[in-house]
Amino acid sequence: MGWKDALHYVKGAAEKKGFLDSHTEQDLHLPLGARIGGLIQLQKTPFIRAISNGSFIEMPTDAQSIIKAISRVNLNISGNVYRYYLALNDGLALGDGGAKEIFLQVYVNQQGEIGDIIYCSQLTRIIPETEEDQQLFMGLSGHGLGDVNYCLWREQLAELGYGTADLRAAFGDEEAIEYWRDAGDPEQEFVQPFKGSETRLDDAQGIHGLKQEIYYMPYRRQLKDDVTESLEYLFITTEIVQSQNGDSSKREIHVDFMVGIPVELERIVIQ
């Protein structure tokens, strides 16, 4: 299925504003010692290797190394998922002036051990305007988000501004790149997307933040790398904003396409 046509950590003010429904001691000790305003240092080797093998990931820059926000993603899975945002995009599609979102996603298992660490940069954001499109990207009709595979098309990436050389490195002579669902039984044509919520704090006092309902499915592909088994992820997330900065009248829906590559723990330092 290509969908070718579809282009707690603190109490205090956060609880008063209603950004956090609960608070745990664990939120005071975030993985990797992260904090808003912290500096993330990443070795560039994984990015150089991934990009040279056709990945759409964007090379981190010094200007995109400060943690601007931290969120906790609650999904119907074991363990916890955190996102450390290095660039934010609230509401706008990229063609409408929105900036590309960037975050480091950290998964912690039930034993409190850090598992996957994935650096993600936004490929695009779309606004599903019809009810049919919204159901497609929430997997509510038994297809769409949650299908066994997803295709990116060369023409789509060209429309997003990717140059000829980048497209050739990624696509070669092909017109599409196929990603495979990274969840559920690979023999099933469709599995229900993960459903949950994300609570994001944009400052340590909890004055600013965002709460949203999410429908999420990870896809992945093998990069063209004969030396190592390099993976590239495509995270597709439908986000329904419930409140921002305490204002529950701000409700909107959009779909984010995030490209991600795994980053080893020893290649990351947070100061």
pLDDT along the chain (271 residues), means of 10: 33 38 49 94 93 92 92 90 91 56 94 93 91 95 95 92 89 94 95 95 85 96 75 96 81 92 94 90
Per-residue confidence (pLDDT) for residue 204, from 0 to 100: 79
Per-residue confidence (pLDDT) for residue 1, from 0 to 100: 34
Per-residue confidence (pLDDT) for residue 31, from 0 to 100: 93
Per-residue confidence (pLDDT) for residue 230, from 0 to 100: 86
How many Å apart are CA 197 and CA 213, to the nearest integer? Answer: 4
3-class SS at 21? coil
Per-residue confidence (pLDDT) for residue 228, from 0 to 100: 63
Q: Which residue has the tokens 């092909």?
A: 174
How many Å apart are CA 142 and CA 123, to the nearest integer? Answer: 25
Tokens of residue 53, six digits: 């093998």
How many Å apart are CA 157 and CA 161, to the nearest integer? Answer: 7
Per-residue confidence (pLDDT) for residue 227, from 0 to 100: 60
Q: Where are the domains of the chain?
A: 12-270
Per-residue confidence (pLDDT) for residue 91, from 0 to 100: 56
**Which pTM was predicted?**
0.86
Per-residue confidence (pLDDT) for residue 208, from 0 to 100: 87
Three-state helix/strand/coil letters over 101-147: CEEEEEEECCCCCEEEEEEEEEEEEECCCCHHHHHHCCCCCCCCCCE
Alpha-carbon dihedral sign for residues 122, 4, 54, 215: positive
